[in-house]
């Protein structure tokens, strides 16, 4: 690095910052005499051409200063110029810079009123139709977790449900409130059961469920991955281990009503998530029995109770389909229900309910959907009327320059 003189008689010192992002040119008068540290190093007295020793200050200036006429070239003795660092600036694009043609609607009072009115006119009929469909659904809901415990065991429900010798059969009579068109769906409802718990949700092996070749893949299934002797459990994991095992049977006037348990699971689950060559193996063979057992001679793709249970619920209160009654149920009929109360919800203060329900075009009974549509539609109609009143009472001409701040206040302020 050595000082040079431009044709105009001005030396320019270019300071190169360590970031390489900014260069500052300093103009120095011709009368400026640079310190010895900025001058070229003197050659050795022996004529070898080697530079003599330099002061520490000179070495620092070599790192931070590049003195040349125009700031972008060096003398031949300085060697090749350092390549310019590539810019990190993103490639220009009209899309990323938001310069594409766009439609920006002008929100005039008429457009605002029309929009709110249309939303209200559309949403209110949908809400009324949804509420009407929900009202047509007939439901019978019976909570049996407390009623099906004998009086002498009410103080220790956990011991009762865990006993292997106690008779847990419970018989109750339900009355049909209104005519129920078939098919009548049978659900079991659990409350305070957190199937969405992270540890519980992950405790399964989808590869094992899907293919026999992967039955030893039990990475996430602990503690229900293998038996005490190391044999693989199929299906493994806490979800399968806790399979719901209460059973229901129905009769009217001592005549048994058949419950159809076919096609209660999603077809996509049966075809793609559970293999037809995967059979239960070593299931519920441990010392701690969790839930229902599985038939070892039936492939998992046909065990629909398991498939329904393995589709975990998002909320602690949920219903799962148990089966269907294909016949109609008349009003005021007495249904005798025999319940095998086996599933332990008493350890975590859970609740169990039996639900018989018809369906409509929106599914089961659901007042929330219709109420939400009615609320939003009514609010939009109210806003439309409010904007009309405001426009009539205090109209504002579109684009009126009198509303500009400097026109409203001589000082140009609000």
Phi, psi at residue 56, to the nearest 5°?
-55, -35
pLDDT the model gives residue 3: 45
Give exposure, 101-110, as e/b (b: 16+ Cβ within 10 Å): eeeeeeeeee
pLDDT digits (tens, 9 = 90+) for 383-408: 999 999 999 998 877 666 776 777 77
More confident residue, 260 or 17: 260
Q: In what order do the strands lie in the sheet with 139-143?
A: 139-143, 351-357, 184-191, 318-325
pLDDT digits (tens, 9 = 90+) for 26-65: 444 444 455 554 455 555 444 444 444 444 434 433 333 4
pLDDT the model gives residue 115: 95
Q: Is 30 exposed, middle or buried (0-12, 13-18, 19+ CB in 10 A)?
A: exposed
Q: How far is residue 123's CA from residue 383's CA, in Å, rounded to a whole number?
A: 14
Band of pLDDT at residue 223, cut at 50, 70 and 90 = confident
In the chain, how long is the greatest CA-to-CA distance? 126
pLDDT digits (tens, 9 = 90+) for 74-131: 444 455 556 666 777 778 888 888 888 888 878 888 999 999 999 999 999 999 999 9
pLDDT the model gives residue 291: 87
pLDDT the model gives residue 400: 67
Residue 67: CA count within 13 A, CB half-sphere: 19
Residue 110: CA count within 13 A, CB half-sphere: 3
pLDDT the model gives residue 106: 80
pLDDT digits (tens, 9 = 90+) for 292-315: 999 999 999 999 999 999 999 999
pLDDT the model gives residue 149: 93
pLDDT for 323 beyond 50: yes
pLDDT digits (tens, 9 = 90+) for 63-81: 334 444 444 444 444 555 5
Q: How far is residue 28's CA from residue 9's CA, in Å, rounded to a whole number?
A: 9
Cross-strand bridge partners of residue 66: 14
Crossing angle, helix 109-136 and helix 367-393, to 10 degrees?
A: 160
pLDDT the model gives residue 27: 41
pLDDT digits (tens, 9 = 90+) for 324-356: 999 999 999 999 999 999 999 999 999 999 999
Q: How far is residue 172's CA from residue 56's CA, in Å, rounded to a whole number?
A: 99
In this prediction, residues 161-167 reach a mean pLDDT of 88
Question: How many CB atoms neighbour CB 355 within 10 A?
Answer: 19
pLDDT digits (tens, 9 = 90+) for 169-213: 999 999 999 999 989 999 999 999 999 999 999 999 999 999 999
Band of pLDDT at residue 413, cut at 50, 70 and 90 = low
pLDDT the model gives residue 398: 64
pLDDT the model gives residue 17: 39
Distances from the Cα of 37 to the Cα of 24, 60, 76, 164, angstroms:
20, 10, 21, 97
pLDDT the model gives residue 67: 41
Question: How many CB atoms neighbour CB 303 within 10 A?
Answer: 23
More confident residue, 285 or 309: 309
């Amino acid at each position: 690095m050595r000082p040079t003189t431009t044709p105009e008689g001005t030396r320019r010192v270019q300071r190169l910052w360590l970031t390489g992002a900014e260069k500052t040119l300093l103009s120095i008068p011709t009368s400026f005499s640079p310190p010895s540290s900025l001058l070229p190093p003197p050659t050795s007295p022996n004529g070898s051409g080697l530079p003599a020793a330099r002061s520490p200050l000179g070495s620092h200036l070599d790192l931070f200063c590049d003195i040349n006429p125009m700031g972008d070239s060096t003398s031949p003795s300085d060697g090749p110029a350092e390549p310019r660092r590539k810019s990190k600036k993103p490639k220009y694009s009209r899309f990323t810079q938001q310069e594409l043609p766009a439609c920006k609607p002008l929100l005039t009072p008429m457009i605002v009123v029309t929009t709110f009115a249309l939303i209200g006119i559309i949403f209110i009929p949908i809400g009324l139709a949804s509420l009407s469909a929900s009202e047509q659904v007939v439901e019978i809901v019976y909570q049996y977790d407390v009623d099906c415990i004998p009086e002498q065991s009410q103080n220790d429900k956990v011991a009762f449900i865990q006993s292997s010798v106690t008779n847990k059969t419970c018989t109750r009579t339900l009355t049909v409130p209104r005519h129920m068109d078939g098919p009548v769906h049978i659900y079991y409802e659990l409350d305070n059961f957190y199937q969405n718990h992270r540890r519980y949700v992950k405790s399964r092996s989808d590869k094992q469920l899907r293919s026999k070749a992967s039955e030893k893949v039990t990475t996430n299934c602990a503690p229900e991955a293998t038996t005490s002797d190391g044999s693989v459990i199929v299906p493994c994991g806490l979800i399968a281990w806790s399979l719901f095992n209460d059973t229901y049977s129905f009769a009217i006037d001592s005549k048994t009503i058949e419950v159809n348990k076919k096609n209660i699971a999603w077809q996509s689950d049966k075809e793609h998530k559970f293999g037809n060559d995967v059979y239960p193996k070593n299931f519920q063979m441990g010392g701690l029995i969790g839930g229902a057992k599985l038939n070892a001679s039936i492939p998992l793709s046909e065990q629909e109770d398991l498939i329904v249970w393995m589709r975990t619920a998002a909320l602690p209160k949920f219903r799962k389909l148990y089966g269907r009654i294909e016949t109609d149920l008349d009003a005021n009929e007495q249904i005798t229900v025999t319940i095998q109360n086996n599933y332990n919800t008493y350890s975590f203060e859970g609740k169990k309910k039996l639900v018989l329900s018809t369906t409509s075009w929106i599914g089961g009974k659901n007042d929330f959907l219709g109420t939400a549509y009615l609320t939003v539609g009514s609010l939009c109609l109210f806003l439309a009327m409010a904007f009309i009143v405001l426009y009539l009472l205090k109209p504002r001409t579109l684009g009126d320059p009198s509303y500009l701040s400097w026109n409203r206040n001589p000082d140009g302020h609000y």
